[in-house]
């Protein structure tokens, strides 16, 4: 038993001195649709409510997938911003509440059933 402990202890000691570096996880950009130009198997995950297509392995972490940054579209003509319109706001106490018509709601029908009987 004593002969087996030394090699195991030595292996653990060496492993702590020379840590094995795992390759860093790289962020993969999503594609809106699979492309025939890129070789490999295409998989998809639902990112931001859209199918994110990527080439790689199945079920990679969602944190490693991202949509490419969209550059703002350039316009061919100058767009002027409209002048700011200032509105006169009334006092909040002058506002009138609007009562919705809830005659078909469950509560109204239940109350009518109890009152009619």
Tokens standing for 30?
């999503």
When the pLDDT of each residue in the chain is averaged and rounded to a whole number, the result is 75
Q: Distance (Å, rounded) from C-alpha 6 to C-alpha 79?
A: 78
The candidate with the shortest Cα–Cα distance to 39, out of 56, 25, 59, is 56
Residues 6 or more apart in contact with residue 28 via CB below 8 angstroms: 54, 56, 60, 64, 65, 66
**Please, is 44 exposed, middle or buried when counting C-beta atoms within 10 Å of its C-beta (0-12, 13-18, 19+)?**
middle
Q: What is the pLDDT of residues 14-60, one digit of tens each?
A: 666 665 554 556 888 888 888 888 888 899 898 888 899 998 887 78
pLDDT at position 111 = 82
pTM, rounded to two decimals: 0.41
The candidate with the shortest Cα–Cα distance to 29, out of 70, 73, 82, is 70
Domain ranges of the chain: 26-66
């Amino acid at each position: 038993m004593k002969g087996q402990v030394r090699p195991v202890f030595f292996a653990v000691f060496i492993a702590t001195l020379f840590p094995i570096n795992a390759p860093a996880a790289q962020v993969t950009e999503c594609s809106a649709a699979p492309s025939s130009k890129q070789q490999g198997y295409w998989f998809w995950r639902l990112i931001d409510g859209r199918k994110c297509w990527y080439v790689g392995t199945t079920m990679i972490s969602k944190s490693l997938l991202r949509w490419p940054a969209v550059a703002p579209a350039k316009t061919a003509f100058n767009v002027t911003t409209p002048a700011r319109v200032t509105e006169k706001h009334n006092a909040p106490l002058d506002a009138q509440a609007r009562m919705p018509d809830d005659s078909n709601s469950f509560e109204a029908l239940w109350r009518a059933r109890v009152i009619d009987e």
